[in-house]
C-alpha cells in the first residue's frame, strides 16, 4: 500500500479477492484507498477490473458479494 499511496503504481493485479482481505470492512477500505490513489484493481479469478471513478452499482454489489464469501472462508479456517 505504500507504493499505492506514493503514486508509483497504476494498477494492482491479484488472483482472488481473498488475497487482499479477511473481512468486508477491510475489502472496502482497501478498495477506497486504491480508488483514492487512482489505482486500478484487477481481480483475475473473478474477471473484474475496478477503476477509480467507475460507478457501476452491479459491479459494486458483485465485488462486495465476493468480499462476503472471502470473509466467510477466512472465518471457517
pLDDT 10s digits, 22-38: 788 989 999 999 999 99
- Calculate the dihedral angle through the C-alpha atoms of 24, 57, 17, 7, rounding to the nearest 10 degrees: -100
Which grid cell sits at 2?
Answer: 505504500
pTM of the model: 0.84
- Residue 53: what pLDDT? 85
Pick the CATH number of 2-76 from 3.90.79.10, 3.40.720.10, 3.40.50.1390, 3.40.190.100: 3.40.50.1390
Which grid cell sits at 47?
Answer: 474477471
Amino acid at each position: 500500500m505504500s507504493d499505492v499511496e506514493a503514486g508509483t503504481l497504476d494498477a494492482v493485479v491479484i488472483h482472488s479477492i481473498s488475497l487482499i482481505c479477511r473481512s468486508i470492512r477491510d475489502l472496502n477500505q482497501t478498495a477506497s484507498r486504491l480508488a483514492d490513489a487512482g489505482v486500478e484493481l484487477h481481480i483475475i479469478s473473478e474477471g473484474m477490473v475496478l477503476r477509480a471513478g467507475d460507478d457501476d452499482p452491479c459491479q459494486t454489489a458483485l465485488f462486495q458479494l465476493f468480499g462476503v464469501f472471502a470473509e466467510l472462508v477466512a472465518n471457517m479456517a
